Amino acid sequence: MEAEQVAQGGSVKHCLFCKKEIDRCYNYCNWDCMVAEAKANGGQVICPNGLPIRSIRRDGNMYEHEHGDHPDYKFPVDVLYVGPIDDDDRKRWTEFMGRPLTDEEVLRMEDETHALIYTDGFIAVTMYECCYAIFNLGTGMISCGPSWLRKKEWTLSAYSLTQIREYCERNKIPT
Ligand SMILES: [Zn+2]
């Protein structure tokens, strides 16, 4: 049906789940329809922290982080970019958003949500886009990470540091 529509050059396309008419450049009305389809197909919701579904794996299982299926996944943590920005950053994000951004807005566009995988009370190992990064819990700053962390000034947010310390307390990990 879909291929037929494309072949005919028609502009009508329907949501793959609810069949409502949608714009040709999409397959579903929205994220809710994608989640509803995964559930209807028997996918399991695996959100141990009760957070919203953010990732649907190919087998239909649903997770609160793209690395929520890692065997040692604990919870998501916020990683903030606190380094310098330059005109390339301003240009890239302005083009992406379609409007000029303040420097603070540009900084926040760089932020990432990592999955906490491991902590020994001194460091935190996180995962983002299939790469590991290590943070120092004393300072919150990144110690090492993949090459795409082209600038080295990244920190765990104050909220995430508190959550990690509370996790350590609950699990009798000295900090
Ligand atoms: Zn729909």
Distance from the alpha carbon of residue 55 to the mean position of ligand 1, in angstroms: 17
Ligand 1 is a single-atom ion; what residues have CB below 5 A from it?
Answer: 15, 17-18, 20, 29, 33
Distance from the alpha carbon of residue 37 to the mean position of ligand 1, in angstroms: 9
Distance from the alpha carbon of residue 29 to the mean position of ligand 1, in angstroms: 4
Distance from the alpha carbon of residue 35 to the mean position of ligand 1, in angstroms: 10
Contact between residue 77 and residue 164 where contact means Cβ atoms under 8 Å apart:
yes
| pTM of this structure | 0.84
Query: Per residue in 9-39, pLDDT tens?
Result: 557 899 999 999 999 989 999 999 999 999 9
Distance from the alpha carbon of residue 57 to the mean position of ligand 1, in angstroms: 19
- pLDDT surpasses 90 at 108: yes
**Average pLDDT, rounded, for the chain:** 91
Distance from the alpha carbon of residue 40 to the mean position of ligand 1, in angstroms: 13
Number of residues that make up the chain: 175
Contact between residue 32 and residue 44 where contact means Cβ atoms under 8 Å apart:
no
- Spans of all domains in the chain: 1-30, 76-170
Of 20, 127, 14, nearest to 69 (Cα)? 127
Q: What percent of the chain has pLDDT over 90?
A: 83
